[in-house]
Amino acid sequence: MIDTHAHLNLNNFDKDLPEVIQRAIDNGVEYIIVPGIDLDSSIKAVDIANKYNNVYAAVGFHPEDADKFNDQSVNALIDLSKNNKVVAIGEIGLDYYWKNVPKETQIRVFKQQLDLSLKLNLPVIIHNRESDNEMLNIIKSYKNTPLKAQFHCFSGDLNMAIELIKMHHFISFTANITFPNAKNLVELVKHIQIDDLLLETDSPFMAPQGHRGKRNEPSFVLEVAKKISEIQNIKLEDVIRTTSTNAYRLFKIGKEPQLVYTYKIGDSLYINVTNRCNADCIFCDRKGEAIISGYKLKMPKNLEPPAETYIKEIGDPKQYKEIVFCGYGEPTIRWDVVKEIAKYVKDNGGKTRMNTNGHGNIINKRDITPELKNLIDTISISLNSVYPDEYSNLMKVPESYHSEMIEFAKKAKNYTNVVMSVVGLPEVDLEKAKDLIENQIGVKFRLRELF
């Protein structure tokens, strides 16, 4: 695990810092990021990071300390950032709750530090309290820049979270999600994919429910991970792996994800068949990082392995709930490889599923649906829209592919179980999609939430 926000530079930890860090290590915390809140605390954060191999620092001025920021502060932060243990500018942002520092001062200092982060090519750690509208407007003004941010101790609403995630920023929650009165936060966590989350404690503040009244510390980040696991009904190991990869993506600390051919999520094993696709969906990250649940799936054609490689990695298929052909590409592009792997799985008592855009017949220039029989137990086809023109715009394919995809689904249901899914985009008519899938095509409907 990586605790991305722990104020070990506050005097709460002066007497037992080595023991605190050792407890974190003993509880599975591999790295800790210590953010500054003013110049003195930023200097102390760097000093601590230099002393401990597993500690990194962020430097910056908190909005409550924005009135301390002056012309010399920028140069001081630049000098501190030359240290290779400094991985971010932060904690910076806006706080309209305390009203100790004028809003105009907070905004000016916040923007100066955002500009500094771009100059230094560093991400930012952002504090936002009761300033959602102003914050979102400022961040949107940086939309076309390389700005990358962690919104720590997130307290905004789902719409704000969605806007930030669309701009490729990360969200994190503290142990306040474990509090009995945290129903709104819990509901929010349900709708934010683990690929967009980081772990943090905000030590020494907000200790988990089982430790209320005590000083919070990085070892308790495990309680945050467990609560996210419970809320999202996913395995703890998936939470830890994914958030650690996310921390690498943002802060470049920890282990760089390496290309995988098979990857385990929950009780299922997924097969990364190809990154190639005949479509170019607007909501797909195939051409971007192509990382999902902490796994790197980015795979050029020359690295696509033969069926034997996948079969060796699968081993006994019965140890998994199912074997799923699903990556950031269209699996029917390598249909012969899929069939060979699926035959091995079925011959050895396993179950199979394939996620497809339904263009398999176009791609292979023949009707492949009869070949699904006894090989693929379930196929999930992306409908995406009931309207050919909208479908074409979303997926960047000819409008005629819409009817081809529907015909593929109708034929496929004669040989296997078919589920058709729709991504919950605002422009998609979900009711008409459900009616088309269930009543006209006659297969199961599934909504895939984008956020």
Domain architecture of the chain: domains with CATH: 2-251 (3.20.20.140), 262-448 (3.20.20.70)
Q: How many CB atoms lie within 10 A of CB 335?
A: 19
Residue 43: name the closest of 20, 76, 84 by CA: 76
What pLDDT sits at residue 250?
98
- Chain position carrying tokens 């467990």: 226
What pLDDT sits at residue 425?
65
Tokens of 396: 């960047």
List b or e across 179-206, with b for residues whose CB sees 16 or more CB atoms inside 10 angstroms.
beebeebbebbeebebbbbbbbbbbbbb
Residue 200: name the closest of 297, 90, 116 by CA: 90
What pLDDT sits at residue 284?
85
What pLDDT sits at residue 378?
97
What pLDDT sits at residue 96?
95
Single-letter code of the amino acid located at 218: P
Tokens of 36: 């500054």
Give the bridge partners for 89, in sequence order: 59, 124
Strand 378-382 vs strand 352-356: parallel, antiparallel, or unpaired?
parallel
Q: Are 371 and 364 in contact (CB under 8 A)?
A: no
CA–CA dist 295, 1 (Å, integer): 16
Give the bridge partners for 324, in sequence order: 270, 353
What pLDDT sits at residue 426?
67
CA–CA dist 108, 126 (Å, integer): 15
Give the bridge partners for 262, in sequence order: 271
* Segments of the chain with pLDDT less than 70: 425-428, 450-451
Which positions ≥6 away from 336 have C-beta within 8 Å?
none
Q: Compute, in degrees rounded to 10, the torsion defined by CA atoms 199, 202, 206, 209.
A: 20
Which positions ≥6 away from 214 have C-beta within 8 Å?
207
